Amino acid sequence: MQNSLIRGNRIYNGKWSSGAGAAASAADILLYSGAASERHIIDGNHCLSNNSQGIFSTALGFDGDVILSNNICVTLDPATCTETGTWSLIANGGNRRHGIVISYITAQAGRPRTIVNANLCRNTIWTGIYKQGESDGEVIISNNICDLNGYDVTNTLSGGVYIDSAANVNINGNSISNFQNTAISTGGITINDSTTQNIPGLVSNNKIINSLGAGIALGTFSKLITINNNVISSSGERDIYIVHSAGSALVGGHTITNNTIYRTTGNNITGIFIDLQNSTRVTTVKNNYIRGANNANNSVNNAGIFIRQSTNLIQTDGNIVENFYYGFHSSAYYGGGRLLDRVIQNNIIRDCAVGFDVSATDNNSTLPLVNNVFINTTTQVDNTLGFVVGRIVQRLGNSLIWQTTSVPTVGSWAVGDRSQNSAPAVGSPKAWACTVTGNPGTWVSEGNL
Output the 3-class SS for 256-298: EECCEEECCCCCCCCCEEEECCCCCECEEEECCEEECCCCCCC
The maximal CA–CA distance of the chain, rounded, in angstroms, is 94
The pLDDT, as a whole number, for residue 16 is 61
Domain 4-399, CATH number (from 3.40.50, 2.60.40, 3.90.1570, 2.160.20): 2.160.20
Find, among 234, 233, 239, the residue nearest to 272 by Cα.
239
How, if at all, do strands 139-142 and 98-102 pair?
A: unpaired
The CA–CA distances, whole Å, from 260 to 227, 288, 351, 436 equal: 11, 6, 17, 45
All CATH 2.160.20 domain ranges in the chain, comma separated: 4-399
The pLDDT, as a whole number, for residue 333 is 85
Burial 222-231 (b: 16+ CB within 10 A, else e): bbbbbbbbbb
- Number of neighbours of residue 404 by Cβ within 10 angstroms: 17
Total residue count of the chain as it appears in this document: 449
Find, among 54, 184, 63, 59, the residue nearest to 128 by Cα.
54
The pLDDT, as a whole number, for residue 60 is 85
Low-confidence ranges of the chain (pLDDT < 70): 15-25, 107
Contact 205, 230 (CB under 8 A): yes
